[in-house]
Structure 1
């Protein structure tokens, strides 16, 4: 996936904001913080309010509707805000701002929209791996130490043992997370088998190290654990329905 044109840097004065719709149809808000440029989601995560109508003092972005605030450099919530702001990676080349292609971590259902500083620390934990078709990533009963994010390919899940295994769905798109037992206290062993249906690339992260990062950012930790609960409920309900 290639970088996408956003706008020219000269279109945004220092301390200014500009909402832009990039080629893919994604709307982003670009801010000029003293010559440093940042891009974030264009709509307030609280309600459907365009953030380009908000206030920006060069460091803090404030939604004018309910006064939620964020640090534009990290997306971290401040004051009344209860959710972080999703930031996007951008580059400035020859006076032109480009949106960098998202990584699997950025688009994952667990970690999407976390502050850039937290995402950077999580990215440092990622170990990219490629596995051939038919390979097993883990079996029922294996130590539940690592979390996986799918970058490409397909992975089948079977819950149970031997003849009593039950299909638990497929991981189909970039950013899907599996092996989530690694983030759960009191769950030292796998309860499923994960097998690659085709050549697949994944990001592998140690669960304990991920938890340390989330503990240092309580707002992000709460958001990730809430999403994890929803993810577990969705998979187990789908499996039970079969």
Structure 2
């Protein structure tokens, strides 16, 4: 997929993500996991656990957090920070919904990478 220079990029539809599930989006800066909570909130974070790089998109979503499938680290979907006694974090991306379509702001990821 070619990413235009506009700051918001359509990545699909909210109906593409089941409640308490996730989907991955490949970007020029790496994989982004897009989560949908049981309360129908949507979050976008980098798709790797800060512990050992586990695929967060394959983890269990509970509330506004996801548990990594490799070593059970719990990551906040709101902040990207590890919860509890664990330390580390992943980057979060702004995401918005318009008429069911999902958009992420890749510019924020590109600026953080520089």
- Larger strand share, 1 or 2: 2
Is 1:31 matched up with 2:29?
no
Q: How does 1:1-242 map to 2 (within 5 A)?
A: 1-2=5-6, 3-22=8-27, 24=28, 26-33=30-37, 34-103=39-108, 107=112, 175=114
Alignment coverage as a number of residue pairs: 108
Q: Normalising by structure 1, what TM-score? A: 0.40
Contact 2:29 2:109 in 1 (8 A): no
What is the distance in 1 between the residues matched to 2:108 and 2:57?
26
RMSD value, Cα:
2.3
Give unmatched runs, 5+ long, in structure 1: 109-174, 176-242
Q: Give the superposition deviation at 1:14.
A: 1.8
- Larger helix share, 1 or 2: 1
Q: Which has the higher contact order (CA 8 A, sep 6+)?
A: 2
Q: Normalising by structure 2, what TM-score? A: 0.79
**Quick check: which has more Rg, 1 or 2?**
1
Give unmatched runs, 5+ long, in structure 2: none
Instruction: Give SS of 2:107's match.
Output: coil
